Amino acid sequence: MSPDVIVVGAGPAGATAARTLALGGARVWLLDRHEFPRNKPCGGAISARALTRFPYLEGQLHRIAVHPVTKLHLESPGGCRSTPQSEDRAVLMIRRLDFDHLLVELARQAGAELMAGVEIAQAAMDEGGVSLTSRDGRRFRAPLAIAADGVNSVVARRLGLNPGWPRSSVALDMMEETPIETLKCAEPDALWVSYGHGGSAGYAYIFPKARHVNVGIGYVLSHFREQVDESPYELQRRFVDSLARRGLLHGVSSRRHFTPFLIPIGGPLPKTAHERVLLAGDAGGFVNGFTAEGIYYAMVTGELAARAALGSARSPEPVATRYVRSWKREIGAELRDSVLLQRYVLGEARRVDLAVKGAERHPRLARAVVQYASGRRSYWSARRRVLLRAPGLVPTLVAQGLTGHR
Ligand SMILES: Cc1cc2nc3c(=O)[nH]c(=O)nc-3n(C[C@H](O)[C@H](O)[C@H](O)COP(=O)(O)OP(=O)(O)OC[C@H]3O[C@@H](n4cnc5c(N)ncnc54)[C@H](O)[C@@H]3O)c2cc1C
């Protein structure tokens, strides 16, 4: 029997959408080009607020290795440092190999049908539905499709929703996820993040996990293409060596575990839904432009797209309109602010210094941001606290259009 909805891509966005649809009584096919478990290049840091937003996760995470972290070491190009800390777990470190498989299993248990090994190559839409064709010629059709096929979404491209990311709207994140037998973090209970690394447009990080460490450097793609002469892996090896010399890491880089990959950091696409297709996760550009956090937003948009689809029978309003309104209401402001902050703070190394110094001088400000990440404070409350504690920021933010209210 043909499905009510086809979800393309079984990452966090697609698996969450499929689970929500199946629990809501829809017939859903979840298509992915890979067999699961499969890996996805990713730091694997999920802000703990995901547990508040998706309460069913708490009771399931014991099935995989999760490493909770409470501390963050921040560094700036001018040598400023700050170490905000939370009383409670602020970030959960997972491996995507495990986490994505868990989400797919939850979708299957809810009743979604997983079709693995299906790589969609063509997509077309007409008045009656969406037709998808796989690379090996199989055809799939449903009245509605959710495209959750990641940053290089074929569905978004074929249907004209994404003509291609401008180079200033994607970051090239060059990262390895290496077992601790080869490379070990000196402080396994803390994340280390350096903003403005190798020029203001870059960042670097060390993320400890239960049995692995993720280490990487990211650059806005335009900066990487224009300013960086080295190959991605040479850059990485030299970076890991420098961290080892500083005593932040023990061991050596592993090329085998190195996987450079793109992240959309320019904010959601101008059009994230059209008639019978809804884009979720990276396919729609739902990533925090300042932190490059995407897993949380992928799950949120996957769920909202599914809810919009489930509400179609009851509402005279088009599903695309309802979906766009719902994501704008829940995450629109924070995603917009994140891109403005990225462009402002990371626009000059001096501003990165000021931001890190600010976090050190105003611990209550840093605490508010950590509480937001851990789910104990809303975005709006954290934002208000930051603007109150750092009144010097206000004139600048006014100029940037950042102080608007809901
Ligand atoms: C190096 C790196 C580090 C990152 N670190 C973090 C981090 O620490 N924390 C965080 O929150 N975010 C991080 N991100 C971002 C995060 O990985 C993404 O935002 C997140 O994976 C988006 O989820 P998604 O479900 O939209 O897409 P994906 O996770 O990319 O899943 C897409 C799925 O679609 C499938 N697919 C793709 N094309 C097709 C096709 N044509 N046909 C069928 N199936 C297809 C793929 O196989 C895949 O399973 C990082 C990204 C990178 C690149």
Task: Tell me which residue has tokens 């402002």.
Answer: 344
pLDDT in tens, 365-382: 888 888 888 888 888 888
Q: Which CATH class is domain 167-264?
A: alpha beta
Selection from 4, 306, 272, 33 nearest residue 156 by Cα: 272
pLDDT in tens, 268-279: 999 999 999 999
Q: Rounded to an integer, what distance in angstroms lies between the CA atom of residue 126 and that of residue 140? A: 14
Atom of ligand 1 nearest to the CA of 282: 26
Q: Rounded to an integer, what distance in angstroms lies between the CA atom of residue 14 and that of residue 20? A: 10
Q: Tokens at residue 130, please?
A: 């969406």
Q: Which of 7, 20, 32, 118 to mutate to test the pocket of ligand 1 (most atoms within 8 A of CB)?
A: 32
Neighbours of 62 (CB within 10 A): 8
Distance 368 CA to ligand 1 centre (A): 28
pLDDT in tens, 287-322: 999 999 999 999 999 999 999 999 988 999 999 999
- Pair type for strands 129-134 and 170-179: unpaired
Q: Rounded to an integer, what distance in angstroms lies between the CA atom of residue 179 and that of residue 294? A: 23
- Residue minimizing CA distance to atom 10 of ligand 1: 293
Atom of ligand 1 nearest to the CA of 264: 19
Q: Rounded to an integer, what distance in angstroms lies between the CA atom of residue 318 and that of residue 237? A: 51
Select 5-63+95-163+269-331's CATH number: 3.40.50.1820, 3.50.50.60, 1.10.4190.10, 3.90.1140.10: 3.50.50.60
32 in ligand 1 pocket by Cβ < 6 Å? yes
The letter for the amino acid at 256 is R
- Say if residues 161 and 174 touch (Cβ distance below 8 Å): no
Check whether 61 has a pLDDT greater than 60: yes
Where on the phi/psi map is residue 28: left (φ > 0), alpha (ψ -120 to 50), or beta? beta
Distance 70 CA to ligand 1 centre (A): 25
148 in ligand 1 pocket by Cβ < 6 Å? yes
- Could you tell me the pTM of the whole model? 0.96
Give me the residue spans of the domains in the chain: 5-63+95-163+269-331, 167-264, 334-400
Neighbours of 328 (CB within 10 A): 15
- Say if residues 326 and 317 touch (Cβ distance below 8 Å): no
Distance 280 CA to ligand 1 centre (A): 11
pLDDT in tens, 106-154: 999 999 999 999 999 999 999 999 999 999 999 999 999 999 999 999 9
Distance 141 CA to ligand 1 centre (A): 24
Atom of ligand 1 nearest to the CA of 45: 8
- Residue minimizing CA distance to atom 16 of ligand 1: 294
pLDDT in tens, 232-254: 999 999 999 999 999 999 999 99
